[in-house]
Amino acid sequence: MKKKKQALDESKISKFAILALIVVPLIVYFQSSNFSFVWDDLPLYINNNHFPTGNPFHNIFSFFIPKSNEMYIPITYFFWAILSFLSGSDFNPVLFHLFNIIIHILNGLIIFYILKFIFKDNLLSLFGTLLFSLHPIQVEAVAWASELRGLLSGMFGFLAIYFYLSYYQNLINTEQIQKNQKTDTNDKFTPKIKFLILAGVSLIFSVLSKPSGVVFPLIIFLLDMMLIRDNIISTFKRTWFYIILIIPVFILTLFSETESKTDLSVNIFLRPLIFLDSIGFYIKQIIYPLDLAANYGRTPPFVLQNTLSLIIHIILAISLFLIFLFKKNKRLLFGYLIFIAGFLPVSGLVTFYYQLFSTVADRYLYFSMFGASIIFVGLISEIKKQNTRNIFSATYLFVLTIVTFSQLPVWKNEISLWNNTIKKYPEVSAYSYFARGSAYMEAGKNQEAILDFSAAIKLDSTLELAYYNRGNIYFDNGNFAAAISDYTTTLKLNPKNLNALINRGLSYSDINMFDKAISDFSLALDIDSTKSDVYVNRGIAYANLGNMESAIKDFQNALKINPDDEFAKENLKMALESKNK
């Protein structure tokens, strides 16, 4: 009777767990459904170039063709196309944010069943999954529309783990049945093969959602070692298929993966230090998640220059490894290794694009929080008194949930996002000031924007776009001397900045320095000879110098490019009349 009652209790706990894992994250994250698009959402991903108005599926097949300097995420683009179709031409952010929440909830449910397989305990698995679902460090991945790529990659990766564990369990059950009954089957497509195929397909979809999904074969490898406790060679024999399967897909992503291409150079012998710093920093953020931000500014030079924090993070990373290494409960060690594996491609061992701004980012931990969940369950399972364990776990998770709920409004809009980052890390990253300045500029708050662009330039005098944007504000305000100065600095940093050349030319024209204006417009046309408006502006400058022949020629060139340009027609008419007088 006791066994039957225990089974009934476990069934009730399992049903309660599923309900809790749906309802609680939905309540916590639902506020993000009213948030705006921020950061890269509209400029890079969710826009009319990718999803044309009236036909958002127009580019659906081209997304599967790798393109230079674009992250290869065709599966994510497919789902964004559906959301664009449903939301209409205005790209309503509500649907995009709600979909992020739904995928995150689904990931929690998958992880719950994975943890059940590992720990054979519904309540412990619930606690572990709630840590994954509700930890504040997950806010960035869920509240930022662009990070659907990571959520989808995680969903397919976690499904691959679930299918592998199902294959593994099915294999054991089949072997036991055959051993007991001494029977064989003629059905070559057995359930265990189905699980194997489903795991492989899920892994491919994971990488096609975001290239970081390449880590999941390694996670499967580590889980296999943890559960079977076999030697590395035997484990490799069981998991080699997944590793081989993912290689050609990953190679395909390298043709276009933006984040793998950077001019940043880090000495190969110093990269292990960056790697250990990342581990230590992430451990600190998980234990004390009160200083979360969109940009930490921990570039390789910053990390190496700040010796004290580097040493602390290295000690933290190594100490935790040694503690788990000598613990009897080896799930702690493998949980730690899975935690590291989750962000391995962006750990600093190899350079990647975002390192120009920071090696570490909260979204990079989305997969890794599965490893953190294993560690958490492993630790609380060592608390012998069940009531004590349950009260501690519930209290800790409740506190984390409150922190998560209060962290979410940071992502409400562009200005709130960068206000939080600058408040917590004020003298670290020029990019944060530049991003907030750009948001202020778009909102028409030009004075605030100028202050932020100036602060960005103070932190990084090579930030080309900060000079350019500040120059644009000076231009709009009629401060042409200051505008020319900023455009000149922009062009020193990037002589091919077409818009800076054009705008400096316009500034020279406005202060009657027509020779310099003509020079800038000519350089701009050398870069792009299809700019009809530049021909018009150069023609006006020639006309002001009395060179009507050149002016007429420029107006005519403008009309060849754009025959409907009324401004060019008007100026051509006046130039011809002036010439004939």
> pLDDT of 66-81, one tens digit each?
887 788 899 999 999 9
409's CB contacts (< 8 A; 6+ apart) are 31, 416
Local confidence band at 470 (pLDDT 50, 70, 90 cut-offs): very high
What is the chain's mean pLDDT, rounded?
A: 90
* Residue with more model confidence, 285 or 564: 285
Task: Kindly state the percentage of the chain with pLDDT values over 90.
Answer: 73
pLDDT tops 50 at residue 189: no
Lowest mean pLDDT, pick from 91-105, 160-174, 352-366 = 160-174
Residue 375 has pLDDT above 90, yes or no: yes
DSSP 1-26: -HHHHHHHHHHHHHHHHHHHHHHHHH
Q: What is the pLDDT of residue 172?
A: 59
Question: What was the pLDDT predicted at 181?
Answer: 53
Q: Is 479 left (phi over 0), alpha (psi -120 to 50) or beta?
A: beta
CA 413 to chain centre: 17
CA angle at residue 36 from 31 to 38, to 5 degrees? 120
User: What's phi and psi for 35, nearest 5 deg?
Assistant: -80, 160
| Cβ-contact 467, 457 below 8 angstroms | yes
In three state form, how does the secondary structure of 123-140 look? HHHHHHHHHHHHCHHHHH
Which long-range contacts link 37-44 to residues 24+ away (Cβ below 8 Å)?
37/91, 37/93, 37/96, 37/145, 38/144, 38/145, 38/411, 38/413, 38/414, 38/417, 39/144, 39/146, 39/294, 39/414, 39/417, 39/435, 40/146, 41/93, 41/96, 41/144, 41/145, 41/146, 42/91, 44/146
Over 90: is that where the pLDDT of 178 sits? no
C-alpha–C-alpha distance, residues 4 and 7, integer Å: 5
User: Residue 489: is its pLDDT beyond 60?
Assistant: yes
pLDDT at 258: 45
Per-residue pLDDT tens digits for 278-332: 999 999 999 999 999 999 999 999 999 999 999 999 999 999 999 999 988 899 9
pLDDT score recorded for residue 174: 52
Q: pLDDT tens across 91-116, in order?
A: 999 999 999 999 999 999 999 999 99
HEC per residue, 89-117: CCCCHHHHHHHHHHHHHHHHHHHHHHHHH
Model confidence over 227-237: pLDDT tens digits?
877 778 877 87
More confident call, 159 vs 48: 159
Using alpha carbons, select from 146, 170, 567 the residue that is nearest to residue 366.
146
In the prediction, which pLDDT does 4 show?
52
Alpha helices in 182-306 (DSSP H): 191-209, 216-228, 232-254, 271-287, 300-305
- Confidence at 247, pLDDT banded by 50, 70, 90: confident
Contacting residues for 165 by C-beta, under 8 A, at least 6 apart: 114, 117, 223, 227
Q: State the pLDDT at residue 265.
A: 75
pLDDT given for residue 533 in this prediction: 94
For residue 497, count other CB atoms closer than 10 A to its CB.
Answer: 21
CA distance 297 to 568: 48
pLDDT tens across 20-49, in order? 999 999 999 999 999 999 999 999 899 988
Residue 581 has pLDDT above 50, yes or no: yes
Mean pLDDT of 203-226: 93
Average pLDDT of span 210-226: 92
| Res 69: pLDDT | 76
pLDDT digits (tens, 9 = 90+) for 429-451: 899 999 999 999 999 999 999 99
Report whether 196 contacts 185 (CB < 8 A): no
